[in-house]
Each structure stands twice: as structure tokens, then as C-alpha cells.
Amino acid sequence: MKAVTNFFGGFGRTVLHVIEKMGDATMYGVSTVALFFVPPWQGQHFIRQMYALGVGSMVIIIITGAFTGMVLALQGYHMLVKVGTESLLGPAVALSIIRELGPVLAALMFVGRAGSSITAEIGIMRVTEQMDSLEMMAVNPRSRVLLTRIIASALSLPLLVAIFDVVGLFAGYVIGVEMLGVNGGVYMGETIDKIDMVDISVGVTKSIYFGFLIGVICTFMGYRATATTEGVAKATTQAVMICSVMVLILDYIITSFYL
């Protein structure tokens, strides 16, 4: 009897804990984003965050995009050439990148590069009581430290995804046309023909949601981290894990809405 209650009790406790965390995160997200409408606006800090998160992630995004496009073209070509439809290589590469791989891979790289640094930075600010000292100086740490990062993340990820898409398409073109010998005109023509505005808007919509989600989760995890070295380390790992899983889940949900 004891073992049974222990088992179900433990299970229930975990579920309640998760629900509590989710509620806390939602409340936190709403109240922080609401600060957007409260002056003073932290324009300078926002620009600094755009630099740290957006510009800082550009190199890794370009590398990921280039190799994604290249491998898609290479793999796609060897599959399509078996049925003699290598003219569809362009649309195959472009559709996969614009609709799915661009937003998801860029978001995952962004989580690794920028999301983890957000959580760690805010966590350490908590450990060293910088948040409290900001408050002492009558500066709202939520609007200066947290909100700027959330907005910078939500704005810079769509831009990064667009760069990822363009680099990926270009790399796919180079491999498909220059290396594998697909006709360049056919490649571009079929791509332009098969890609609709819907595909592009799906990709952009996804990236805005992902960016916002990553910003909220990573700042939340840092803000609520236990104020110890260990706590920050744990929060950072968890933030990256939760963001990655949430990106994949949200990706499925948004895709299913658009089909």
C-alpha cells in the first residue's frame, strides 16, 4: 500500500510541479511582455542585445545553412536521378529549407548559441545580486534585462532564418548546378514555379514564434534559477533542453495548421 501511494504520489508531484512551472512561466512571460508598454524604453540595451544575439549567431547560422543546402542537394539528387526527375531538385531543396529546416535548424542553433548565454548571463546576474542592485537604483530589471532580450530574440531569429534560407538555397544551387550538372535555368525556374508566398510566410511565422518562445523560456529559466553556481548550470542545461523540445513540438503544431 505504501509503495503504491509513494509511486502515484511521486508521479502526481512531478505533474503538479510541471504545471506550476508552466503557469509561472506563462505569468512571467505575460507580465514581462506587458512592460513593453511602460516607459522608459531601453532602446540602447535592446540594440546591444540585437548585437549579442543576432549578429553573434550569424556565423553559425551561415555555416549551418550552407551545409544544410549542400547536403539536401546532394542527397536529393541521388534520390531523384533514380526516377529521372532531377529537374525537381530545386523545388525539393527550396521547399524543405524554407518550410521546415530553415526555421527549425536555425532555431536549434540559436538556442545553443544565444539561448544558453541568455540563461547563464541572467542566472549569474542573480547570483552576484546585480538584479537587486538594479532595483536599488530604481531601474526595473525586468524591462532592462529580460524584456530587451525577449524582443531581441523574437526579432533577430526571423532575420537569421531568412539569411539561413538564402544561404541554403544558394549552396543547394551551387552543388546542384555546378557540381551535379542539373540545368541552372530549370533549377531556378522550377523553384520559382513551385514556391508560393504561403511557404515563405509559414517559415517566417514559425521563426517569429520560435524566437519569442526561446526568449521567454531562456530568460525565465535564468530569472528563476537557484542563485548558486550549480543552480545556474542546471538552469542553463534545462533551458536549452526545454527550448529544443518546444521548438520541435511547436513546429509540428504550426505545420499542421498550415496544411
- Grid cell listed for 66: 550552407
Judged by CB under 8 A, the number of residues near another protein is 27
Nearer to another protein, 138 or 197 (CB): 197
> How many angstroms separate the CA atoms of 104 and 225, rounded?
26
Q: Binding to another protein by residue 113, rule CB under 8 A?
A: no
Closest residue by Cα to residue 62 from 179, 216, 171: 171
> How many angstroms separate the CA atoms of 63 and 129, rounded?
37
The two most distant CA atoms of the chain are separated, in Å, by: 73
Binding mask 140-159 for another protein (x = CB under 8 A): ----------------x-xx
Q: Binding to another protein by residue 176, rule CB under 8 A?
A: no
Binding mask 68-97 for another protein (x = CB under 8 A): --------------------------x---
Count other C-beta atoms under 10 Å from residue 52's C-beta.
17
33, 127, 166, 254: which one binds another protein (CB under 8 A): 166
Start-end of H helices in 137-196: 141, 148-173, 184-194
Among positions 215-254, residues that touch another protein (CB under 8 A) are none
44, 75, 128, 133: which one binds another protein (CB under 8 A): 44
> How many angstroms separate the CA atoms of 208 and 244, rounded?
15
Count other C-beta atoms under 10 Å from residue 254's C-beta.
16
Q: Binding to another protein by residue 191, rule CB under 8 A?
A: yes
- 155-192: buried (b, 16+ CB within 10 Å) or exposed (e) per residue? bbbbbbbbbbbbbbbebbbebbbeebebeeebbeebbe
Task: Pick the stretch among 105-113, 122-130, 196-204, 233-241 that binds another protein (CB under 8 A).
Answer: 196-204
Q: Binding to another protein by residue 8, rule CB under 8 A?
A: no
Smallest separation, CB 203 to another protein (Å): 8
Task: Pick the stretch among 12-20, 22-30, 43-51, 106-114 that binds another protein (CB under 8 A).
Answer: 43-51
Q: Binding to another protein by residue 162, rule CB under 8 A?
A: yes
> How many angstroms separate the CA atoms of 112 and 239, rounded?
10
192, 241, 248, 253: which one binds another protein (CB under 8 A): 192
Note the residues at the interface with another protein (CB under 8 A): 44, 47-48, 50-51, 54-55, 58, 94, 98, 156, 158-160, 162-163, 165-166, 191-192, 195-197, 199-201, 204
